[in-house]
Amino acid sequence: MTELVKRNHWVIRLTHWVNVVAIVIMAGSGMRIFNAHPAFARPGESFSLNPWEGHAIPAWLTFGGWLGGARHWHFAAMWLLVANGFVYLAFLFLHGEWRDVVPRTGDARDAIEMIKFYLFVRKNHPVGGKHNALQKMAYFAMPLLGIVIVLSGLAIWKPITFGFMTAMFVNYKWARFVHFAGMVLLLALALVHVFMVFAVDPYSLRSIVTGWYNRERSPEARNARPFYHLLGPSVPAAPDTEGPPS
């Protein structure tokens, strides 16, 4: 019998898809803004951490058409992202779902076990909760990166008005670097997340659309490594005897 469970509340699903739209618009428009002056330092200054100083990002990765249009899209998406972030974090706190993503003692050990499983060093999928240790680390890091991106963005948007924010990042060029690097890290985490969904647990797409999830098709139940679902039915995991002692 199929074991369906309600995995994702509608608030989680809604904020997830709003984030997807906001981040894509912010990333594309942000790169278009960057191309107007493809350097972290102001004219006449230098910044040693950018070996591609002066080289624009390929136009096909940008969004907004021109500098003014990109700025309008960027700030519109920024406020959408901030409002959506407040709703998401408030829901996690008030609904108690923060327990699913907050780091706990033993997560580093469990993350190592997951890596060992993916590298075929460990035979059986580690026993976990709603999210495995690697997922929890990614889901916890994403909101933190979002906060850093917003603060550094305000610091470079109004470096005089928000001078105290600019000082938090040392100066203008460092604030611009942190803003850019933060977005690159956020996009990298998002791409890894999307890859792992399709490679390991494509059945979870149902849960982020309708909220329902079939536990019988979870990676843990199928003992599934990346792309194993393409090879046919997975072999269920044997009773876990490889985990750390309790």
Handedness of CA 209, 11, 4, 97 (dihedral sign): positive
Q: Is 244 among the domain residues? A: no
Question: Mean pLDDT across the stretch 98-122?
Answer: 88
pLDDT score recorded for residue 229: 65
As for how many domains the chain has, the answer is 1
- Quick: pLDDT tens for 65-76: 889 999 999 999
Query: With 70 as the cut, is the pLDDT of residue 235 above it?
Result: no
Helix (H) or strand (E) holding 214: strand 212-214
Q: Is 239 among the domain residues? A: no
Q: Which residues contact 103 (CB under 8 A, 6 or more apart)?
A: 136, 137, 140
Q: Is 243 among the domain residues? A: no
Q: Which is more confident, 242 or 203? A: 203
Domain containing 111: what range? 4-231
Q: Is 245 among the domain residues? A: no
Least reliable range by pLDDT among 84-88, 152-156, 232-236: 232-236
DSSP 42: P
- Quick: pLDDT tens for 119-176: 889 999 988 778 888 888 898 899 899 999 999 999 999 999 999 999 999 999 999 9
Least reliable range by pLDDT among 11-20, 58-67, 73-82, 94-103: 94-103
Residue 121: give its domain's CATH number.
1.20.950.20
Query: How many Cα atoms are found within 13 Å in the side-chain-facing hemisphere of 110?
Result: 18
The model's confidence at residue 83, banded by pLDDT at 50, 70 and 90, is very high
3-state secondary structure of 239: coil
Q: Is 242 among the domain residues? A: no
Mean pLDDT (the chain, rounded) = 88
